[in-house]
Structure 1
Amino acid sequence: MREYLLTILVAALVAYLLTPAVRRFAVWFGAQAVPRDRDVHVIPTPRLGGLAMFGGMVAALVVASGLPEMRKVLANGDLSVGKALLMSGGLIVLVGIADDRWEVDPLTKFAGQVAAAGIFIMQGIQIYSIPLPNGESLSLPPAYGVPLTVFVVVATINAVNFIDGLDGLAAGVVGIAALGLFGYAYLLTKTNGMTTLSGATLTAAVLFGMCLGFLPHNFSPAKIFMGDTGSMLIGLLLSASTILLTGQFDPAVLANGLFPLYVPLLLVPAVAAVPFMDMLLAVWRRTNQGKSPFSPDKQHLHHRLLQLGHSTRRAVLIMYFWVGLLASGLVGLALFNAAWLTIGVTLVVAILGVVLMLRLGRPRGKRRGAAAEPGDTGQQPAARPQLPV
């Protein structure tokens, strides 16, 4: 655990210290997000925060390569986790920089994501088997394992990109997911008497540290955005940890049934469930109105939370709460032999969360003349645009 904690600390510290320098570079380079009608921020904000996160990842991997036990994890036979993360991460960062500066077309970004998945496969990060309900594992030949791996990587990257709608939202949500994967992998191996050292656990630890270090600069009011450089990078690492965990555990040695085998496959969809539902509702809403499914509007979930009277910070914290509740519920079901108790506690907390969310939020039109707090968007109250009711 000490080596994992050191890796997390290095990733967080380097990402935190590099972000101000990256912010200045982004301004000089011209990579800034100009406010659009559907955006919450009202002044141009530098992008490229993913560069600082990439620096945190590189530093953490370098430090890990010098630790006695982590060195074994980074280069384990045919599986080279460190090399895979550096090569694929470097490629996705280059694509992200180009998009943050010049806004490349979706096909080019898609090609870069597929190429990054290809690097994973060449370095041994691939889905080789899927657990079955009967306790056995279905081995996947390359004809099935390769396209499935590419699909998981591309889908996860784009899910994270879709989450990135409010200050600190993507970094916090992915950080919670990474912490959930780290806790799941570490505690499950320790509980069942297996080695706690694995590429999946290390990847989740590095990802958590990167998000933790960047978040203070990105939380509302954001001084810098991660941009596609960051959202694609953390989505890539999240997919890597998920793929590495899939098929890692032998059903015969698990003491808590077969459910733990499915947690890696369920955790990322659970974390992305809220934004994916938001996306499906947006497509249905726009199509119903005779508009293009890709036409922007201000009816997304985070916009609705703002309309309820929540500040930007509180809206983000609400999203953190639901993601954390889903992640902790899944991990709890995997680790504890008390499924009904875990489900019951999760449901009670969820009900309390809904009650508090509704009570704390008040429609803007019904506020008694109170001025908006400066922390709502990071700007002065007078500069805040009014959202449609």
Structure 2
Amino acid sequence: MLEEIIYGFGLALIISLLTGPLLIPVLYKMKFGQYIRDDGPKRHLQKAGTPTMGGVLFLTGAVTGTLVFAPKTGPVFLVLGATLAYGLIGFIDDYIKVVLRRSLGLRAREKLLGQLGVAITVSVVAVFFLGRGTELVIPFSGYRFDIGPVLYIIFTSLIVIPGTVNAVNITDGLDGLAAGSVAISTLAFILAAIMLELQGVAVFGAALVGGCLGFLRYNIHPARVFMGDTGSLALGGALASMAVVTGTELFIPFIGFLYFAEILSVIIQVISFKTTGKRVFLMSPLHHHYELKGWQEQKVVRVFWLAALIGAALGLLGMHNIG
């Protein structure tokens, strides 16, 4: 198993690194430039025009590394399919924003329906076709309880998967932040897959890490390319689907602590402003709050990567008896 994991990682890394110099000039030529909100941190305005949709870089590497080295099993195709499906939703959103010049992209209802459709599909396939079952494991205790197929599908497709996907999407706001933190979080799911002897899922996770690290070569500050919703929705879909097939849905608040802190900051900000007219944070999501407090972008990213690492470590500590 270890050889395939290493080879999948290496191939994805190489493909992502080699694809960058080929794809980035094409994105520039096609004027797939990022739109920057004028109500955000002023230093971000200089990023306007940086090409987006760069998630294609790491997706190409991750998919290739998986297909070449992972066993062709149901769980592998499920995580691949979920990742690409959410990536497609993100690609359509990006295309509408940067090519059709409709700044908000897909309408909220359209995006929600697309995400919900993929989430339900993933949940149903996992339960009824892959034999995943409907047990949930309580972190750190190892206690299991069966909630039945109806409640499991509702819980997973309405909360776990969309919550994870959108939390990662919101985290993608600084150079290198989402790619680096997801690479860290994915390590926990790789180890979970190894413990459960899900070799193909472990290879997929390794290939995703390799792709993200290759992408960071071009996305670290100052970024030459952004992943766009093409990348961030795909990354969220990858994490959520790996949690489903490894039965670690309840570990996501630990492994994905950073992403849920980010999305929680948005929720708190909106509720506070609408009910009291006051803002809790200088700006949400959370990474912008620290920028406006005077932190340099690179410092915010490093600290948030550390938070992702701590979350992944906590998640792993709670997995000692998931098998």
Shorter-chain TM range is: 0.7 to 0.9
Distance 1:135 1:175, change over 3 A: closer
**Where in structure 2 are the equivalents of 1:41-80 lying within 5 Å?**
41-42=45-46, 43-64=48-69, 70-71=70-71, 74-75=72-73, 80=74
* Cα distance between partner residues in 2 of 1:18 and 1:9: 14
Give the Cα separation in 2 of the matches to 1:196 and 1:331: 16
CA shift, 1:242, in A, is 0.8
Kept in 1: contact 2:86–2:234 (CA 8 A):
yes
- Change in CA separation of 1:240 and 1:87 when aligned onto 2, cut-off 3 Å: closer
Residue 330 (structure 1) aligned with residue 315 (structure 2): yes
Amino acid at match of 1:46: P
Partner AA of 1:5 in structure 2: I
The corresponding residue for 1:129 is 135
Counterpart check, 1:276 vs 2:260: no
2:91 corresponds to which of 94, 97, 108: 97
Q: CA deviation at 1:329?
A: 3.3
User: Matched residues, percent identical?
Assistant: 25
**Letter paired with 1:131:** V
RMSD of the alignment, in Å?
3.0
Which TM-score applies when normalising by structure 1?
Answer: 0.69
CA-to-aligned-CA distance 1:328-364 (integer Å, 9 cap, x gap): 233245459xxxxxxxxxxxxxxxxxxxxxxxxxxxx
* Aligned partners of 2:136 and 2:250 also within 8 Å: no
Counterpart position of 2:101: none
Q: Which sits farther off after the overlay, 25-34 or 97-106?
A: 25-34
**1:163, distance to aligned residue in structure 2 (A):** 0.6
Residue identity matched to 1:100: D
Task: Tell me whether 1:222 sits opposite 2:209 in the alignment.
Answer: no
Give 3-state SS (helix, strand or coil) of 1:138's partner. strand
Matched residue count: 302
State the partner residue of 1:234: 235
What per-residue deviation string (whole Å, max 9, x for no partner) do you get for residues 227-253 of structure 1?
A: 000001010010011111217xxxxxx
**Hey, what does 1:258 align to over in structure 2?**
none
CA contact (8 A) 1:58 1:86 kept: yes
Change (3 A) 1:33 1:289: farther
In structure 2, the CA distance between the partners of 1:26 and 1:111, relative to structure 1 (3 Å rule), is farther
1:192-231 alignment, distance < 5 Å: 196-231=197-232
Secondary structure of the 2:92 match is helix
For residues 43-63 of structure 1, give each alpha carbon's deviation from its aligned partner in whole angstroms, at most 9, with x where no partner exists: 311111111122112211221
> Do the aligned partners of residues 183 and 87 (structure 1) sit closer, same or farther apart at CA in structure 2, a change above 3 Å counting?
closer
**3-state DSSP class of the match of 1:32?**
coil
Residues of 2 paired with 1:123 and 1:29: CA distance?
38
Seen in structure 2, the aligned counterparts of structure 1 residues 88 and 183 have a Cα distance that, compared at 3 Å, is: closer
Call closer, same or farther: CA 1:297–1:32 in 2, change over 3 Å: farther
Match of 2:269, SS state, is helix
Is the 1:171–1:214 Cα contact (8 Å) retained in structure 2? yes
**Secondary structure in 1 matching 2:62:** helix
CA distance in 2, matches of 1:163, 1:127: 31
Give 1:22's aligned amino acid: L
CA distance in structure 2 between the aligned counterparts of 1:271 and 1:215, rounded to whole angstroms: 19
Residues 68-217 of structure 1 mapped to structure 2, 5 A cutoff: 70-71=70-71, 74-75=72-73, 80-102=74-96, 103-121=105-123, 123-124=125-126, 128-131=134-137, 137-151=144-158, 152-186=160-194, 189=195, 196-217=197-218
- Deviations 1:286-338, CA, capped at 9 Å, x for gaps: 32563899xx97454323323443321111101111221232233245459xx
Q: Give the CA deviation at 1:135.
A: 5.8
State the alpha-carbon separation in 2 of the partners of residues 50 and 115 from structure 1: 22
Aligned mates of 1:119, 1:263 — CA distance in 2: 19
CA contact (8 A) 2:82 2:238 kept: no
Contact 2:87/2:230 (8 A) holds in 1? yes
**Hey, what's the Cα distance between the residues in 2 that align with 1:132 and 1:335?**
11
- Measure the CA separation in 2 of the matches of 1:105 and 1:263: 30
Aligned equivalent of 1:320: 305
Q: Which has the larger radius of gyration?
A: 1
**SS of alignment partner, residue 145 of structure 2:** strand
Give the conservation status (yes or no) of the 8 Å contact 1:199–1:244: no
3-state SS, counterpart of residue 261 of structure 2:
helix
Cα separation, partners in 2 of 1:25 and 1:113, compared to 1, 3 Å: farther
RCO comparison, higher one (Cα < 8 Å, 6+): 2
* AA partner of residue 213 (structure 1): G
Contact 1:51 1:229 in 2 (8 A): yes
